Homo-oligomer: A and B are copies of this chain.
Amino acid sequence: MRQLYFKRDVARGVNGTYDWLVDEVQELGAELKKGTDREATEKEFADVIAWLASLANVMGIDLESAAVNKYNYKCPKCQRSPCECTF
């Protein structure tokens, strides 16, 4: 995603890229509500992760490292896998 869209993402900036991410999350929600077209749903998931990656690129954040640092195959609250939190 960095190679594909980085220049455009940086030109758009953090706020503009975040607004696109929100739009894509809403589109995913609409598609989930319809719940009829699996292929379309997969594409909406792809769009959300693409825009999340774009936003991370603009911020200079590595999305995968961020996820591994926080979750690292165990729940960050109870430290277990599967999670055993009782909330």
Contacts and interface: CB of A to CB of B under 8 A. Distances in A.
Interface residues of A, number: 45
A47 B43 CA distance: 21
Contacts of A15: 32
Contacts of A7: 82
Contacts of A82: 3-7
Contacts of A6: 82
Interface string A39-70: 00111011111101001100101010111011
B14 A22 contact: no
Closest CB pairs A-B (n = 10): A46-B70, A42-B66, A45-B66, A46-B66, A46-B67, A49-B67, A4-B81, A43-B70, A4-B83, A25-B25
